[in-house]
Amino acid sequence: MIIQKTFRYRLEPTRAQGQLFARFAGCCRYVFNMALAARKMAYDQAGKTLSFVDQCRSLTELKKAGGTEWLAEVHSQVLQQAVKDLDAAYQHFFRRVKQGEAPGFPRFKKKGVKDSFRYSQGIKVRDRHVYLPKIGWVRFRNSRPIEGKIQQATVKRDGDHWFVCFSCEMGVPDPVHPSGSAVGIDLGVVIFASLSDGTQIKPLGSFRKHEARLAQAQRKLSRKRKRSRNIKKLEAKVKRFQTHIANARKDFLHKISTTLCKNHAVIVIEDLNVKGMSASAKGSVEVPGRNVRAKSGLNKSILDQGWAMFRSMLAYKARWLGGQVIAISPANTSRTCPACGEVDADNRKTQAEFRCVHCGHADQADVNAARNILRAGLARLACLAAKAAESQAQGSNLLQGVLAGTTLASAMPGIPRL
């Protein structure tokens, strides 16, 4: 099996190298914006778009043109990667249009926001140094060994520091998960994750913990005059807050997702529409919204959880370990009784209590939902395994291992073996 892994390290550039990093990132931003403007102009004038190959050819002319000859100081592949990023953005845009989703048109890049540049060849690593073409050997904190073959290296600014990310590819034997257990996960705001085995994980709330201090720094920044002496200091302070919040959230999600993927062969989660759940309640002038302040606070808490990032982590970590992640519809998972199967809105007495009005079964509401999620996921896995039985797919073997586990029956009372 071929897998891709990314290894991220903090760079320790000299003052001159740091200036080169900023210059390279600025040149990539300029090329990206110029290429986007050219595509828009071509479509407005002729109803056609420009291809990646056409725009790469124009880079040579752009380097020789008056006023932009400074682009020649940057390695050609770095500029080509900027055009490639734009082409990928267009491909994603057209894909969303075809699928009927709400498309987001590619936007111009802003200075100081996600500054980065990428190499696809010519990268060398020696001890604690990495060689970047037209920059030279740069020291980095080699905190762990790099595995596999380096395909590309991305240099990006995160807060006050520069980092290098090595995208590596490696071949590994097809993994077989050591566990035969399955777990359902119900995600929430008050409780981050409730598991079908009764375990509940409290949320970190990294944004909420620092919201007041971040808002204070942002207010001070908004009052400053442009190009004032202290505006750069305040901008750096705001970025430090935002970086700290993001890093704390990532660390929290990495630890939980790693533990779950190591302990369970099958993980079932809800296919949540986070964008719809966190939509604004302001409404319009004709139809004003209701409970706008409360909904705004709920939206912040939802986005602070990082559900989409958590699902992505579960997916690739489970694949590395030989497990599987299944996403099911969240409809009626909190209203269904796992004992008798009845669906009734009155079953959910309070936010924390579930009591079936038909058979009297009682449980913690979120744990009950997690058990319903697991049941739906196992039913889907059984269908997939039945369809793939003739070709002896891995899904069949995985299902047999899960159903043979001794913990499944005790974790799911009232659910018959399939």
* pLDDT surpassing 90 at residue 256: yes
* pLDDT surpassing 60 at residue 80: yes
Q: How large is the average pLDDT for residues 379-400?
A: 71
Among 338-342, 345-349, 390-394, which stretch is predicted with the lowest mean pLDDT?
A: 390-394
Q: How large is the average pLDDT for residues 254-277?
A: 90
Q: What is residue 302's predicted lDDT score, i.e. its pLDDT?
A: 80
- Write out pLDDT tens, residues 279-297: 766 655 455 566 666 667 7
Q: How large is the average pLDDT for residues 250-259?
A: 94
Among 51-55, 169-173, 252-256, 355-359, which stretch is predicted with the lowest mean pLDDT?
A: 355-359
- DSSP codes of every residue in 362-403: EEEHHHHHHHHHHHHHHHHHHHHHHHTTTTT-HHHHHHHHHH
Crossing angle of helices 231-263/307-321, nearest 10°?
40
Among 29-38, 113-122, 402-411, which stretch is predicted with the lowest mean pLDDT?
A: 402-411
Q: Give strand pairing partners of 362.
A: 355
22 pLDDT band (50/70/90 cuts)? very high
Which ranges constitute the DSSP H helices of 224-306? Answer: 231-263, 274-277, 292-305
Among 78-82, 188-192, 312-316, which stretch is predicted with the lowest mean pLDDT?
A: 188-192
**Is 270 labeled as catalytic in the residue annotation?**
yes
Considering only CA atoms, which of 60, 58, 67 is closest in space to residue 35? 58
> In this structure, are strands 2-10 and 200-201 parallel, antiparallel, or unpaired?
unpaired
Q: How far apart are CA 280 and CA 137, in angstroms?
A: 48
Q: How large is the average pLDDT for residues 146-174?
A: 94
Q: How far apart are CA 118 and CA 79, in angstroms?
A: 9
- Among the listed residues 197, 304, 363, 366, the single catalytic one is 366
Q: What is residue 293's predicted lDDT score, i.e. its pLDDT?
A: 66
Q: Greatest CA separation found in the chain?
A: 81
* pLDDT surpassing 90 at residue 87: yes
- Report which DSSP code applies to 160: T
**What long-range pairs does 189-194 form, CB within 8 A, spacing at least 24?**
189/298, 189/301, 189/302, 189/305, 190/351, 191/366, 192/256, 192/305, 193/256, 194/364, 194/366, 194/367, 194/369, 194/370
Instruction: Give the chain's mean pLDDT.
Output: 86
414 pLDDT band (50/70/90 cuts)? very low
**Is 186 labeled as catalytic in the residue annotation?**
yes
| CB 106 within 8 Å of CB 93 | yes
- Among the listed residues 87, 115, 197, 270, the single catalytic one is 270
> In this structure, are strands 362-364 and 136-139 parallel, antiparallel, or unpaired?
unpaired
Q: What is residue 412's predicted lDDT score, i.e. its pLDDT?
A: 44
**Is 366 labeled as catalytic in the residue annotation?**
yes
Map residue 169 onto helix, strand or coil: strand
Map residue 90 onto helix, strand or coil: helix
**Across 25-29, 246-250, 300-304, which has the greatest mean pLDDT?**
25-29
* pLDDT surpassing 70 at residue 399: no
- Among the listed residues 186, 197, 304, 363, the single catalytic one is 186
